[in-house]
């Protein structure tokens, strides 16, 4: 049996589901005091795996500031996974024409992006001198190499085949990323939804190669302009547009805060992963998420 399967089975056996009646009875029997004795590990650890999480911080230097840098990076990785999960959930609902239901995971995505963006505050203490004390120990490690962040970008429609290359020798990571890269983005699904709801979207756009980055199209812009003309409470497509706008805006905030943090901590020095640092990030920011949602506002 694989170790993952053993872990899952162990988790399920240690975390026993309870009912509201059982919880009320336990509180009555203990007089409201918490349960403090368990036969094995605490159910909290069995569910959260906190004992595993807290073994994953392995700084490369003795500098105390590196722990902040490392843990903040790990927190961001967890947020990337959560955001990717929510976006995929939204996609399933959009493909099923469940527009109202899709709003919930998109709104959660926006809230998770707020949490992700707040993570940068934990690094505002870091000056170039602070970073330099441990930077050399990182070698060529760079956020550019985050596979989960690439999943988020691909799901949002930002597709660059060159960014698959760092993972070509990590079989599973590369396979999973390639699957996301070659699948429709959230924006592709939103455009297909507009077409199914009667908007005039050209067939060649609906049948395009989704592994290529979406190019803004006037028909999509016009469709969103029409959607926003109807301000009635039953216009779920308009609500979808606003939910997608919130996601795009907060993702833009993430990219800006990344740029600002790099500028604060290292100025215009070359990046650890071989890029030219600030200039690379500035070019990345120029790629707009859900572009026609923004350009349509000029015509509303």
C-alpha–C-alpha distance, residues 259 and 45, integer Å: 36
The tally of CA atoms less than 13 A away on the side-chain side of residue 137 is 15
Domains of the chain: 19-55 (no CATH), 65-299 (1.20.58.480)
95 a known binding residue?
A: no
What's the average model confidence in pLDDT over 153-170?
94
Half-sphere exposure of 300 (CA within 13 A, CB side): 17
258 is in an annotated binding site: yes
Output the CA torsion sign for 84, 251, 268, 61: negative
**Residue 182 confidence class, pLDDT cut points 50, 70, 90:** very high
Average pLDDT over residues 138-155: 92
Please answer whether residues 134 and 270 qualify as being in contact, where contact means their C-beta atoms are separated by less than 8 angstroms: no
The three-class DSSP label of residue 197 is: coil
- pTM of the full predicted structure? 0.91
Both tokens assigned to 186: 């959230």
Instruction: Report CA 294 to chain centroid distance, whole Å.
Output: 21
Question: Would you give the DSSP letter of residue 37?
Answer: -
User: In the prediction, which pLDDT does 7 show?
Assistant: 52
Question: In terms of Cα–Cα distance, which of 145, 87, 141 is closest to 112?
Answer: 87
């Amino acid at each position: 049996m694989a170790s993952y399967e053993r872990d899952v089975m162990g988790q399920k056996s240690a975390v026993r589901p309870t009912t509201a009646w059982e919880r009320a009875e336990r509180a009555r029997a203990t007089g409201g005091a918490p349960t403090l004795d368990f036969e094995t590990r605490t159910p909290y650890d069995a569910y959260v795996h906190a004992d595993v999480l807290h073994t994953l911080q392995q700084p490369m230097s003795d500098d105390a500031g590196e722990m902040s840098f490392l843990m903040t990076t790990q927190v961001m990785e967890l947020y990337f996974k959560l955001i990717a999960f929510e976006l995929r959930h939204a996609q399933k609902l959009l493909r099923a024409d469940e527009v109202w239901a899709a709003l919930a995971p998109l709104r959660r995505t926006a809230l998770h992006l707020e949490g992700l963006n707040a993570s940068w505050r934990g690094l505002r203490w870091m000056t170039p001198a602070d970073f330099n004390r441990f930077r050399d120990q990182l070698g060529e490690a760079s956020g550019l190499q985050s596979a989960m962040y690439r999943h988020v970008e691909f799901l949002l429609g930002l597709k660059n085949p060159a960014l698959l290359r760092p993972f070509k020798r990590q079989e599973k990571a590369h396979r999973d990323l390639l699957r996301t890269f070659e699948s429709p983005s959230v924006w592709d699904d939103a455009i297909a939804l507009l077409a199914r709801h009667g908007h005039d979207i050209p067939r060649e756009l609906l049948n395009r190669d989704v592994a290529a980055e979406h190019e803004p199209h006037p028909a999509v812009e016009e469709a969103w302009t029409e959607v926003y003309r109807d301000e009635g409470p039953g216009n779920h497509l308009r609500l979808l547009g606003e939910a997608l706008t919130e996601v795009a805006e907060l993702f833009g905030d993430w990219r800006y805060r990344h740029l600002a943090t790099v500028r604060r901590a290292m100025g215009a020095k070359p990046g650890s992963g071989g890029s030219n640092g600030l200039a690379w990030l500035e070019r990345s920011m120029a790629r707009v998420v859900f572009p026609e949602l923004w350009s349509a506002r000029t015509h509303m």
